[in-house]
Amino acid sequence: MRKVLAIALASAGFALAADGKAIFQQKGCASCHQPNVDTVGPSLKKIAQAYESVEQLVKYLKGEAQPIVDPAKANIMNAQLAQLKGLSEEELKALAEYILSFK
Ligand code: HEC
């Protein structure tokens, strides 16, 4: 059991590292979110610092949690969340992991 879990975690970890950046770029997120400076949207660093865990960020990305970084501009970002609707749980986790890597 323990071995199976370790293998599952290891392969999940590999997928996380591989896909998050690609999804971020393919979905056009990079046009409003730079690593370190605020542009149209807050920097990835600022977002990463506001979120404590991948689970918390995934909830936001699914539209199940309120924005906490710059809620006054949430209407701009809400339209973007629709683009993530077709993604699997694993892909959303990979995306969140990528964003949180800017902490
Ligand atoms: C048209 C510009 C634009 C695009 C494209 C965009 N964002 Fe945003 N994003 C914003 C703005 C503006 C905010 C600030 C509003 C807010 O924090 O709610 C924001 C905030 C966020 C936040 C912080 C939410 C919070 O808790 O406040 C996350 C996470 C995020 N964006 C992820 C993404 C992802 C992932 C994509 C690609 C699917 C994306 N953004 C595409 C403009 C954009």
DSSP string, 27-86: TTGGGT--SSS-SSS--HHHHHHH---HHHHHHHHTT-S---S-GGGHHHHHHHHGGGTT
Condensed to tens digits (0 to 9), the pLDDT of residues 19-42 reads 899 999 999 999 999 999 999 999
**pLDDT over 70, % of the chain:** 83
Average pLDDT, integer, range 63-88: 96
Q: Measured in angstroms, how far is the CA atom of residue 20 from the centroid of ligand 1? A: 15
Domains of the chain: 2-100 (1.10.760.10)
Q: Whose CA is nearest to atom 41 of ligand 1?
A: 29
pLDDT-derived band of residue 10, with 50, 70 and 90 as boundaries?
low
Q: List ligand 1's pocket residues with C-beta within 6 A.
A: 27-29, 31-33, 40-42, 47, 60, 67-71, 73-74, 76-77, 80, 83-84, 95, 99
Q: What is the pTM of this model?
A: 0.88
